[in-house]
Chain A
C-alpha cells in the first residue's frame, strides 16, 4: 500500500510519458485482476452501463420512439422543474414516502435480522421464511386492495364499523387523504427483502470471540453490545443495506399504481417513478421520461452520499 502511494506521488510530478509508462507497468502487474473482473465488467458495460448512459443522453433530446431524436438541450429539465405541476406533486409524494419508508424499513430489516439471530437454528430459519414471505410470494400485496376496499366488504371498513369507530365506509383508495399513507404502509410491509437477507448473512460474519471479550471489558446489556461490537463489525452490510433501501424507497411506483390506480385520484398516489412510467410507456415521450429518471438518479446519489457519511459514524 505504502509503495503504491509513493509511486502515485512521484508520478504526479513526473512528465506525461513517464506517468504513462508507470500506469502501464501497474496494469501489467495486476493483469490477473483484470482477467477476474473482465467477464463481469463486459456484461455490466453492455447491459447496465450503456443503457444508463444512453438514457441520460436521451434526456437531452425530444425522443418519442418514432422519429429520430433531436437535441433540445436542457429543455426537458426546465419543463420538469418549472412547468410541470403534476411532477411537483410526484416529488412531494416521493420524498414523503422515501423519508418515512427508507429509515423505517432499514431499521426494521436490521432489528429483525438481529433479533432472529438470537434464536435456535430451526426457529431462525422458520422466522426468516415468515418475514421474507411478502418478498417471495409474487404480487401478494394485491391482497391489501381487499383490505382497503371502499365498500362495506373491505376488511378495514367492516371491522371499523363493527367496532363503532366509523358510521359509513371510508373510500381508502379513492380519498387523496389516505392513499399515500396506505402506499407507505404496504411498502413497509414489503420492505424485508435484500437488505434483510444481507443483514442476516452479515451477522454470521461477526467474530464471536468479540462478544466474550466485550463482556469482560464491561459491556452490560444487549444494546451496548449492539452499538460497540455488532454494528461496527457489520459496517459493510450496513452500507449495502443503505444503498438497497434508498433505491427501493425512492422508486416506489408499482404498489401505488396497483393500489391507488394509474392515474390515481387527484394524483394522490403519483410518485416520480409513476410519472416516468406515464411519460415513457403511455405518452411515448422518452426524452422527458429519461430526464425524470436522471433527476431521480441524482437525488438517490445525493441521499446515498449523506447516509454513507452517517453510517461511518456508527459505533464511535
Chain B
C-alpha cells in the first residue's frame, strides 16, 4: 500500500492520481471532444467555402478552396440596407452591454439576501423563483406580450432589457453560489461595521466570481442572438441579429452569405466565452472558498 502511494505521488501532478487512470480518462475526453467539436468546425469551414462547395451533396466538412467571397457579399448586402449597418450594430451592442451588466448586477444584488438571510417573505420568493424556472415559456407568450404592451415598453429597448433583468436562471445560479460563502465571514464583517451593500460588494461578489462570470456568458449569448421578435418593430431599433436573419432569409442564393453570418454570429459570443472561462478557471495555487 505504502509503495503504491509513493508511485501515485511521483507520477500524478496531484495527490491520489494513478497514471493508468489518467490515460483512460484523457482518451475518453478526446473521444467525446471530437464528437462535440464539429458543429463549430463546420460553421468555420462553411464560411470560407465557395458556393459550389457549400451546396455540394453529400456535404464535405472541410473546405478545399477557401475564399472570402461570402464575407464580401455580406458587406455589400449590408451597405445597401435601408437603415445603416452601424445603427444595427449600435442597437445590439447597447442591448447586450446594458442587459448583461444590468442583469448580473440586479440578480446578484437580490441573490445575496435571499441566499444568506431569513426575512418575512424570503422563502416564498426563493420558492417562486425556482418553480418558475419549470414553467414552459411556450404558453406564456401572450400574457407577456400584453404586459409589455400595457407598460408601454413595446417598440423600445426596454422590451428586451427589462424582462432580462428578471431572469430567474441568473438569480438561482447566484443564490446557489452565494449560499456557499461561510456565515462567519458575513458576521465578522457586520461586527466590523460593514452594511449589507458593503458586504455584497466587497465580500460576496469577489467570492462568487466564478458564478457571475458564468452568468455573463449566458446573458451575453442570449442577448447577442435576441432579434426583438414581436416586441420591436421600428427598423432603427432592431438589433443586428434581426438584420442578419433577414439577409439569410433571402433564399438559396444567399447560402454563402448565410454561412458567413453564422460564423459572425458565433465568433463574438465565443470570444466572450473564452475570456470569461479563462477567468473562471483559476490556477491550483489559488484555493476555493475557505472559512
Contact = CB atoms under 8 A, between A and B. Distances in A.
Interface stretch (B66-74, B217-225, B232-240): B217-225
A51 B214 contact: no
B86 interface: no
A39 B176 contact: no
Interface in B137-189: 138-144, 147-148, 151, 162-163, 165-166, 168-169, 171-173, 176-177, 179-180
A189 B214 CA distance: 21
Given A27-B120, A48-B168, A189 B277 contact: no
B25 interface: yes
A209 B132 contact: no
A36 interface: yes
A127 interface: yes
A204 interface: yes
A198 B173 contact: yes
A167 interface: no
A43 B218 contact: no
Interface string B37-80: 11110110000000000000111000000000000000000000
A62 B30 CA distance: 53
Interface in B247-290: 262, 265-266, 269-270, 273-274, 277-278, 280-284, 287-290
Contact of A131 (B28, B33, B165): B33
A26 B119 contact: yes
Interface string A40-76: 1111111111111011001000000100000000000
Interface in B98-142: 106-107, 109-110, 112-114, 117-120, 122, 125, 128-136, 138-142
A197 B218 contact: yes
A40 B136 contact: no
Counting chain A residues whose Cβ lies within 8 A of the other chain, the interface size class is: 35 or more
A136 B177 CA distance: 23
Nearest to A289: B139
Counting chain B residues whose Cβ lies within 8 A of the other chain, the interface size class is: 35 or more
A134 B39 contact: yes
Interface residues of chain A: helix, strand, loop or mixed (majority): helix
A172 to B, nearest CB: 15
Interface stretch (A83-91, A96-104, A115-123, A259-267): A115-123
B163 A47 contact: yes
A276 B141 CA distance: 13
A78 interface: no
Given A51-B144, A207-B290, A43 B163 contact: yes
A202 interface: yes
B147 A32 contact: no
Interface in A131-155: 131-134, 136-138, 140-141, 143, 146, 153, 155
Contacts of B217: 197
Interface string A198-221: 101110111111011001000111
B18 interface: yes
Contact of B134 (A1, A129, A138, A297): A297
Nearest to A219: B16
Contact of B118 (A4, A52, A134, A153): A4
Contacts of B168: 44, 48
B16 A225 contact: yes
Contact of B265 (A138, A276, A293, A304): A138
Contacts of A29: 119
A40 B110 contact: yes
B177 A202 contact: yes
A116 B16 contact: no
Contacts of A14: none
B254 to A, nearest CB: 16
B270 A239 contact: no
Contacts of A286: 139, 142
Given A36-B200, A55-B135, A189-B36, A125 B278 contact: yes
A227 interface: no
B193 interface: no
Given A244-B133, A253-B138, 10 more contacts: A43-B165, A44-B166, A44-B171, A51-B147, A133-B40, A137-B266, A194-B173, A286-B139, A300-B134, A304-B130
A-B pairs with lowest CB-CB distance, top 10: A140-B39, A43-B166, A201-B210, A40-B110, A51-B140, A208-B287, A33-B113, A236-B176, A51-B143, A30-B119
24 contacts: A23-B120, A27-B120, A30-B120, A37-B125, A40-B109, A40-B165, A43-B165, A43-B166, A45-B166, A50-B143, A55-B139, A55-B140, A121-B281, A124-B281, A128-B281, A134-B39, A201-B177, A205-B210, A207-B289, A240-B173, A273-B136, A289-B139, A290-B139, A293-B135
Interface of B: 14-18, 21-22, 25, 28-29, 32-33, 35-40, 42-43, 57-59, 106-107, 109-110, 112-114, 117-120, 122, 125, 128-136, 138-144, 147-148, 151, 162-163, 165-166, 168-169, 171-173, 176-177, 179-180, 195-197, 200, 210-211, 213-214, 217-218, 221, 225, 262, 265-266, 269-270, 273-274, 277-278, 280-284, 287-290
